[in-house]
Structure 1
Amino acid sequence: MQNLITSLYNDEAGFIVSAELVLIATIAVLAMIVGLSEVALNINNELEDVGSAFSCVQQSYCVDGFWGHKGHIQGSGFDDHFDFCAGECDIH
């Protein structure tokens, strides 16, 4: 048993390959972290643009009254006011 432990301790055949794999894996993980953080930032920016687009939708309407020979109906209307904090880049 002592000979097996000594031979494994002295064996350095796979050391270089293991060190290279650790280095490559570290670089790959760092690249993934940077890439995913950029993806998250850009998704957040696009969703903010979508929210700003929804806040810019004109929701007001106006229906004119109808007049006929024997009757009439009044028109109606609604005016959409500017929302508080409905500007561009206001979501933090």
Structure 2
Amino acid sequence: MNALFNSLLNDEAGFIVSAELVLVATIVVLGMIVGLSELALNINNELEDVGSAFSGIQQSYEVRGMQGHKGWVDCSDFYDTVDFCAGQFDVQ
């Protein structure tokens, strides 16, 4: 049993392959981190553009009143004001 343990301890046949795999795996993981970071940034930018587009929709409406010979009906209107944080590039 002791001889088997010593032979396994001194065996270096797969050491180079293991070191190369660790190096390649490290580079792949670092590349994935950078890629996912860029992906998250671009998704946030696109969602901010969609939110800015929705906030830029004109929301006012107006119903004109009616006038006749013996009476009139008042009109109704609504004018949209600028929302808080409704500009472009609000998401940081």
TM-score (norm 2): 0.86
- Report the counterpart of residue 59 of structure 1 in structure 2: 59
- Aligned residue runs from structure 1 range 24-43, under 5 A: 24-43=24-43
Structure 1 unaligned spans of 5+: none
- Report the counterpart of residue 48 of structure 1 in structure 2: 48
- 1:14 aligned to 2:34? no
Structure 2 unaligned spans of 5+: none
d(CA) in 2 for partners of 1:70 and 1:29?
Answer: 81
TM-score (norm 1): 0.86
Specify which structure has the higher proportion of strand.
1
Deviates more, 1:50-59 or 1:29-38: 50-59
Q: Relative CO higher for 1 or 2, CA cutoff 8 Å, sep ≥ 6?
A: 2
Count of residue pairs the alignment pairs up: 92
